[in-house]
Structure 1
Amino acid sequence: MPRRVAVTGLGMVSPFGGDTHDFFQRMLRGESAVRWYETQDVPKPLALPVVRCAEFDAVARLGKPLAGTMDRFAQMGMASALEAWKQAGLDAEGAFDPWMAGVAWGSALGGVQVYERGYRDLWLNGQARVSPSSVVLGMNNAASSQIAIQLGLGNSCLSYTVACASASAAIGEAFTRIRNGQAKIMVTGGSDATLAYSVVRAWDAMRILAPGDATTAAEASRPFHARRAGLVLAEGAAALVLEDWDHAMARGAPILAELAGYGASCDHQHLVRPAREGQVQAIRQALDQAEIPLDAVGYVNAHGTATREGDPTEIAALKSVFGARAAAVAISASKSMHGHAMGATGAIEALITVLALQQDAIPPTANLDEIDPQCTGLRHVTGEALRGSGVEAALSNSFAFGGSNAVLAFRRANHF
């Protein structure tokens, strides 16, 4: 019989510099973390709006010895995981069986910063070699491996790389292990530190980034807007502790929400162009597995990247699923405030979705004062947070390059 799965811990590295609670309150107020990115000491300077975790101090969060063994993406991942682990109350001695506790982590690009440093050392600075630790610092599974080692988790150590759906896929696969009885506890989420100059330049070359011509950086990310101009790159990390429901209840753990369903699909059509049919499949899979009726879903945290093709495709998929009821479903795109942190974004948005259910408060889409006619049909939350609507169930969508789709279905903890 499938096991129920509880969310018992949350953690993150916030672009605002505060904790998870502070981050969510800022989301509810519609505050933007987008700032200008200006390169220095490079042949071709660049100025674009991005979201940087500027106040993140790895040494302060992790200690110098531990921080020194990781690239920035793994440092942020570790910091978020430790926060979630502590909130779940699993830091007490004997709180868990290490062979029934594991890690599933997502990252789209891994340690790109260590590889860029290596390039600079070799080709720009004329050094004879790169650091001998470059491979272990830069490998995509560095974050998951370090988390498993630090927390003593022996069940599994899994890493997922499916572009912008990486964290959501990791969370979904962690959920599946617990649901099937293969684990009791999983630390899951994602991290990416994508603001290396070469990465930003590569995204800029695709001409899908929001340009640096907005009046203020905070206005640059405008999902579903009639004049949206592209996505805003970000860095960050978020972690969830998932736990077998009975196991969590037995030890008196705080249950923040229930992860009830996971859907995954592949568009199998184009590397960068989204397809409505694939998204519909993932959404329906998540709802079917969760056994959540359509009229119980009150909120969708949209993938909503503010690209010309992506936003209307997602709206079309949601309207296909919800039909005549779509207009009653609240929707918002939190990327308008925290940007697109690539492989970490699904975890950040899952965290927001859990807190939206727990606090009965839905954050708005920032900067949305003119909805694209192609993006109408759902209940867009704009301006101020939507509070007190009594939402019982919510979706968190992630739709990625390569056609990978991952959807998570959550219920309020007091649903039963």
Structure 2
Amino acid sequence: MTRRVAITGAGTINPLGPDVPSTWAAMREGRTAIGPLEIRDADRLGIRIGAQVRDYDEAAHFSRSEAALMDRFAQFAVLAARQAVAAAGLAFEGELALRSGVVLGNSGGGLQTVDDSYRAVYAEGRNRVHPFTVPRLMANAGASHVSMALGLKGPAFTLSSACASSNHAMGLAFQMIRSGAATVMLTGGSEAMLCFGGIKAWEGLRVMSPTGCRPFCATRDGMVQGEGAAVFVFEDWDHAAARGADILAEVAGFAMTADAGDIVLPSAEGAERAMRGALADAGLAPGDIGYVNAHGTGTAANDRTEAAAIHAVFGSAADRLLVSSTKAMHGHLIGGTGAVELLACLLALREGIIAPTVGWRERDPDCALDIVPHEARQARIRACLSNAFAFGGLNAVLALKAA
């Protein structure tokens, strides 16, 4: 039997705010969190802007012994997961604990730990590193700490597919519940790449903007990195209804495709197949979709390719479709980006507010879409898509419906 899947909780810590209400408020107001980087050796970087989680104090959330075991990305994952479970009103005990798990998306693992360790060994000449270097840097640390913190004893793992990691993770969590393999799954993603080594590596690709993120704008000059996490409670619909849970939205469909083309250049055909697949999986027609949260990185290759794919899928309906990229506000969270962007989808479905594409200056004829520039817009949305397209030609699209 195919089961319906509900979203019953959400949590986040990201550059726009330390929780869902503050993040939604920033999205409504069109605030951007992109600014000068406050990291060690920022003066040695060519790119000196990013979207940081500022004024973060790990001591306010974790004991010294807990913090010693967790890189920044894992701490973000645990904080977001705690919020999501509290919002869902769940306690994982007995049989439910055995049938509940966590799958998170992450691309870089504990890069802060890696950066510190390289400095210690190569720059400072030390012969020892932190004794917990391996458990701090491993990519599965976020999912493992979430499972331990909340008592989740079912499936628990990490999925890594660059910028599509979160969407792939959420898609697999959706499929696990729909198939009956789990009753509840915590899912989403986390990333914390804003360190000297992380930024320096991305500089080498020459896709980073020194001025700001302007998706679908003719003057765009690249992406801007962010950091943070978002985690959601995906739950068997009947289980959620039986306990009287507040259902935020329904996860209706998911599809993933591979371009099988270039390691960095995207394919409109691959993105198109992923969107069509998500619609088919959800039993939705293009005309049913009112909003697309675009991958929208602010690079010429991504924006034009994604716009072409949207026009191919929606045809004449693309003229009335609302499309926005929230990366201009919170930056590109790499492995965690799809999770934070799903919050914009929930805002659209739950409150009828479309988060804007801020920073836009000038129309690009190759990106002829209603990208909701500058200011949020009110609209009644019954269904939406959330796009994620990654280096390596890996595409993952989620379809959501209003509860």
Q: Distance in 2 between matches of 1:119 and 1:284?
A: 44
1:116 maps onto 2:106 in alignment: no
Q: Which ranges of structure 2 fall in alignment gaps of 5 or more residues?
A: none
TM-score (norm 1): 0.94
Q: Which residue of 2 aligns with 1:379?
A: 370
1:205 maps onto 2:188 in alignment: no
Q: Secondary structure at the match of 1:331?
A: strand
Q: How far apart are residue 406 of structure 1 and its match?
A: 0.4
Q: Distance in 2 between matches of 1:96 and 1:273?
A: 46
Q: Percent identity?
A: 42
Q: How far apart are residue 94 of structure 1 and its match?
A: 4.5
Q: Which residue of 1 aligns with 2:334?
A: 342
Q: Distance in 2 between matches of 1:286 and 1:84?
A: 25
1:393 maps onto 2:383 in alignment: yes
Q: Distance in 2 between matches of 1:58 and 1:357?
A: 33
Letter in 2 for 1:135: V
Q: Which residue of 2 aligns with 1:217?
A: none
Check conservation: 1:71, 1:114, Cα contact below 8 A.
yes
Q: Distance in 2 between matches of 1:279 and 1:409?
A: 14
Q: Secondary structure at the match of 1:379?
A: coil
Q: CA offsets per residue over residues 365-400 of structure 1, 9 Å max, x none?
A: 001231211000x3221122111x211000100000
Q: Which residue of 2 aligns with 1:308?
A: 300
Q: Secondary structure at the match of 1:309?
A: helix
Q: Which residue of 1 aligns with 2:84?
A: 84
Q: Secondary structure at the match of 1:229?
A: coil
Q: Which residue of 2 aligns with 1:129?
A: 128
Q: Distance in 2 between matches of 1:293 and 1:117?
A: 50
Q: Which residue of 2 aligns with 1:71?
A: 71
Check conservation: 1:190, 1:347, Cα contact below 8 A.
yes
> Which of 347-356 and 177-186 deviates more?
347-356
1:229 maps onto 2:192 in alignment: no
Q: Distance in 2 between matches of 1:352 and 1:394?
A: 10
1:54 maps onto 2:46 in alignment: no
Q: Distance in 1 between matches of 2:310 and 2:45?
A: 40
Q: CA offsets per residue over residues 197-248 of structure 1, 9 Å max, x none?
A: 011011112111002xx4xxxxx11000001000001111000110000000
Q: For the structure 1 residues 110 and 75, does the alpha-carbon distance in structure 2 shift closer, same or farther, using more than 3 Å as the test?
A: same
Q: How far apart are residue 67 of structure 1 and its match?
A: 2.5
Check conservation: 1:222, 1:368, Cα contact below 8 A.
yes
Q: Which residue of 2 aligns with 1:256?
A: 248
Q: How far apart are residue 148 of structure 1 and its match?
A: 0.8
TM-score (norm 2): 0.97
Check conservation: 1:106, 1:166, Cα contact below 8 A.
yes
Q: CA offsets per residue over residues 91-111 of structure 1, 9 Å max, x none?
A: 4x7486111100010101010
Check conservation: 1:331, 1:380, Cα contact below 8 A.
yes
RMSD of the TM alignment (CA)? Answer: 1.5
Q: Secondary structure at the match of 1:7?
A: strand
Q: How far apart are residue 42 of structure 1 and its match?
A: 7.5
Letter in 2 for 1:276: A
Q: Secondary structure at the match of 1:130?
A: coil
Q: How far apart are residue 286 of structure 1 and its match?
A: 0.7
1:407 maps onto 2:382 in alignment: no
Number of equivalent positions: 403
Residue pairs, 1:1-400, within 5 angstroms: 1-37=1-37, 40-41=40-41, 44-91=44-91, 94=93, 97-211=96-210, 214=211, 220-376=212-368, 378-387=369-378, 389-400=379-390
Runs of 4+ in 1 over 6 A off after TM superposition: none
Q: Secondary structure at the match of 2:61?
A: helix
Q: How far apart are residue 295 of structure 1 and its match?
A: 1.4
Q: How far apart are residue 305 of structure 1 and its match?
A: 0.1
Check conservation: 2:10, 2:230, Cα contact below 8 A.
yes
Q: For the structure 1 residues 276 and 72, does the alpha-carbon distance in structure 2 shift closer, same or farther, using more than 3 Å as the test?
A: same
Q: Which ranges of structure 1 fall in alignment gaps of 5 or more residues?
A: 215-219
Q: For the structure 1 residues 17 and 322, does the alpha-carbon distance in structure 2 shift closer, same or farther, using more than 3 Å as the test?
A: closer
Check conservation: 2:168, 2:256, Cα contact below 8 A.
yes
Q: Secondary structure at the match of 1:186?
A: strand
